[in-house]
Copies of this chain bind each other. A is one copy, B any other.
């Protein structure tokens, strides 16, 4: 795949006029969302977000697993002028349907040492969620309650329909 990507990149750069842009997001917005392949190249147009508009943070299930999301949101606020945060989950999220037994089998089949698997609670480690909506509400709370995030930054919670692209507000933090 790397050859195909490099070829596509060569074609892109032949056409693209190099452009110097600010690293400050013009809409003063950070978005925390899922790595899902159906959101790739889809979330941005569905939200009217263009290049230069917003920071986008993505992981499996838009969860707070460890400190990575909170430190990224903090960096966007303190160093990059972000004034508003949106946590955006999506319907039909793979992380809401994790079968730990199946996952462990898949890992063993790929040669992962069973002793390493046994060291972790696999469902917790992989960041499985109970439901897409309750997860968004919980992540909003986790970020809001961090002592390293300012109280005056609204943290909204939303969910996007993965088929239609329609947003629903779950937490309106105005």
Copies of this protein in the complex: 2
The A contact surface, by secondary structure, is loop
Which residues of chain A from 2 to 45 have a CB within 8 Å of any chain B CB?
2, 4-9, 11-13, 16, 18-30, 35-38, 40-42, 44-45
Q: Which residues of B are found within 8 Å of A117, using beta-carbon distances?
A: 148
Flag whether A137 is at the interface (Cβ < 8 A). Answer: no
B78 with A16: CB separation less than 8 A: no
Interface centre among A7, A29, A79, A92 (most CB of B within 10 A): A79
A41, chain B: closest CB distance, angstroms: 4
Q: Which residues of B are found within 8 Å of A92, using beta-carbon distances?
A: 23
A103 with B127: CB separation less than 8 A: no
A55-74 interface bits toward B, Cβ cutoff 8 Å, 1 = contact, 0 = none: 11111100001111101101
Flag whether A130 is at the interface (Cβ < 8 A). Answer: no
A51 with B69: CB separation less than 8 A: no
